[in-house]
Protein backbone atom coordinates (compact mmCIF):
# COMPACT_ATOMS: atom_id res chain seq x y z
CA UNK A 1 0.00 0.00 0.00
CA UNK A 2 1.29 3.43 -0.93
CA UNK A 3 1.72 5.77 2.01
CA UNK A 4 2.78 9.41 1.96
CA UNK A 5 3.96 11.61 4.81
CA UNK A 6 4.55 15.34 4.65
CA UNK A 7 7.18 17.07 6.77
CA UNK A 8 8.41 20.61 7.14
CA UNK A 9 8.16 23.74 9.22
CA UNK A 10 4.74 24.84 10.37
CA UNK A 11 5.60 28.54 10.42
CA UNK A 12 7.26 30.56 7.66
CA UNK A 13 7.90 34.30 7.59
CA UNK A 14 6.60 36.45 4.73
CA UNK A 15 8.97 36.73 1.75
CA UNK A 16 10.77 33.52 2.73
CA UNK A 17 10.70 30.19 0.91
CA UNK A 18 8.41 27.42 2.11
CA UNK A 19 9.96 23.96 1.80
CA UNK A 20 8.08 20.72 2.40
CA UNK A 21 9.11 17.11 1.86
CA UNK A 22 6.91 14.11 1.11
CA UNK A 23 8.29 10.70 2.02
CA UNK A 24 6.74 7.83 0.10
CA UNK A 25 6.63 4.19 1.16
CA UNK A 26 5.14 1.21 -0.60
CA UNK A 27 6.02 2.41 -4.11
CA UNK A 28 9.09 3.86 -5.79
CA UNK A 29 8.50 7.39 -7.05
CA UNK A 30 10.24 6.32 -10.28
CA UNK A 31 7.67 3.62 -11.02
CA UNK A 32 6.28 4.17 -14.50
CA UNK A 33 2.97 6.00 -14.94
CA UNK A 34 2.77 7.38 -11.42
CA UNK A 35 2.83 11.07 -10.67
CA UNK A 36 3.20 12.81 -7.36
CA UNK A 37 1.51 16.08 -6.57
CA UNK A 38 1.35 18.84 -4.02
CA UNK A 39 -2.12 20.14 -3.20
CA UNK A 40 -3.11 22.72 -0.61
CA UNK A 41 -6.25 23.92 1.11
CA UNK A 42 -6.31 27.48 2.45
CA UNK A 43 -8.65 28.13 5.37
CA UNK A 44 -12.24 28.33 4.22
CA UNK A 45 -11.36 27.52 0.62
CA UNK A 46 -11.22 24.52 -1.68
CA UNK A 47 -8.31 22.36 -2.71
CA UNK A 48 -5.67 23.99 -4.91
CA UNK A 49 -3.29 21.93 -7.04
CA UNK A 50 0.26 23.26 -6.87
CA UNK A 51 2.08 20.97 -9.24
CA UNK A 52 3.43 17.49 -9.79
CA UNK A 53 6.51 15.44 -10.59
CA UNK A 54 6.19 12.37 -12.72
CA UNK A 55 8.03 9.06 -12.64
CA UNK A 56 10.43 10.39 -15.27
CA UNK A 57 11.19 13.49 -13.24
CA UNK A 58 9.13 15.77 -15.47
CA UNK A 59 7.42 18.57 -13.56
CA UNK A 60 4.16 20.41 -14.18
CA UNK A 61 2.94 23.45 -12.28
CA UNK A 62 -0.23 25.37 -11.75
CA UNK A 63 0.00 28.40 -14.06
CA UNK A 64 -1.12 30.76 -11.32
CA UNK A 65 1.88 29.95 -9.12
CA UNK A 66 4.39 28.60 -11.62
CA UNK A 67 6.89 31.43 -11.14
CA UNK A 68 7.13 30.73 -7.39
CA UNK A 69 6.90 26.92 -7.35
CA UNK A 70 9.55 24.25 -7.68
CA UNK A 71 9.12 20.51 -7.20
CA UNK A 72 12.12 18.20 -7.06
CA UNK A 73 12.89 14.70 -5.89
CA UNK A 74 15.51 12.57 -4.16
CA UNK A 75 15.14 9.10 -5.56
CA UNK A 76 17.65 7.64 -3.09
CA UNK A 77 15.31 8.61 -0.25
CA UNK A 78 12.07 8.11 -2.22
CA UNK A 79 11.06 11.68 -1.44
CA UNK A 80 9.81 14.65 -3.37
CA UNK A 81 9.95 18.25 -2.25
CA UNK A 82 7.90 21.42 -2.72
CA UNK A 83 9.50 24.85 -2.60
CA UNK A 84 7.30 27.94 -2.76
CA UNK A 85 9.18 31.23 -2.81
CA UNK A 86 8.20 34.74 -1.73
CA UNK A 87 5.39 33.52 0.47
CA UNK A 88 2.66 35.79 1.81
CA UNK A 89 -0.07 35.18 4.40
CA UNK A 90 -2.28 34.07 1.48
CA UNK A 91 -0.07 30.97 1.23
CA UNK A 92 -1.24 29.83 4.66
CA UNK A 93 -2.86 26.43 4.14
CA UNK A 94 -2.83 22.75 4.88
CA UNK A 95 -0.43 21.24 2.37
CA UNK A 96 -0.89 17.68 1.12
CA UNK A 97 1.14 15.38 -1.04
CA UNK A 98 -0.78 12.87 -3.10
CA UNK A 99 -0.30 10.08 -5.61
CA UNK A 100 -2.07 9.25 -8.84
CA UNK A 101 -1.60 6.55 -11.45
CA UNK A 102 -1.98 7.00 -15.16
CA UNK A 103 -2.93 9.95 -17.28
CA UNK A 104 -1.51 13.43 -16.91
CA UNK A 105 -1.07 15.52 -13.78
CA UNK A 106 -4.49 16.73 -12.80
CA UNK A 107 -5.95 19.58 -10.81
CA UNK A 108 -8.92 17.34 -10.03
CA UNK A 109 -8.54 15.98 -6.52
CA UNK A 110 -10.60 12.91 -7.41
CA UNK A 111 -7.71 11.72 -9.59
CA UNK A 112 -5.60 11.00 -6.53
CA UNK A 113 -5.68 7.65 -4.82
CA UNK A 114 -3.45 8.10 -1.81
CA UNK A 115 -2.84 11.23 0.24
CA UNK A 116 -0.64 12.22 3.10
CA UNK A 117 -2.29 13.42 6.30
CA UNK A 118 -1.43 17.03 5.52
CA UNK A 119 0.71 19.60 7.28
CA UNK A 120 -0.45 23.01 8.44
CA UNK A 121 1.77 25.84 7.23
CA UNK A 122 1.20 29.36 8.52
CA UNK A 123 2.85 32.39 6.95
CA UNK A 124 3.25 35.08 9.56
CA UNK A 125 5.88 37.39 10.95
Quick one: 89 exposed, middle or buried, by C-beta within 10 A (0-12, 13-18, 19+)?
exposed
The predicted structure's pLDDT at residue 61: 96
What are the mean pLDDT values of the chain's consecutive 10-residue runs (125 residues total)?
96 98 97 95 96 95 94 98 98 97 86 96 97
The predicted structure's pLDDT at residue 117: 97
| H or E stretch at 121 | strand 119-123
List phi, psi (to 5°) of 104. Answer: -110, 160
Amino acid sequence: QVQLQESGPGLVKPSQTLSLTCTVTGCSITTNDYYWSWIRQPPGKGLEWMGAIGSSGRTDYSPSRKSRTSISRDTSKNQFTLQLSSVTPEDTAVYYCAEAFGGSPSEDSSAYTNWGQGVQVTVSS
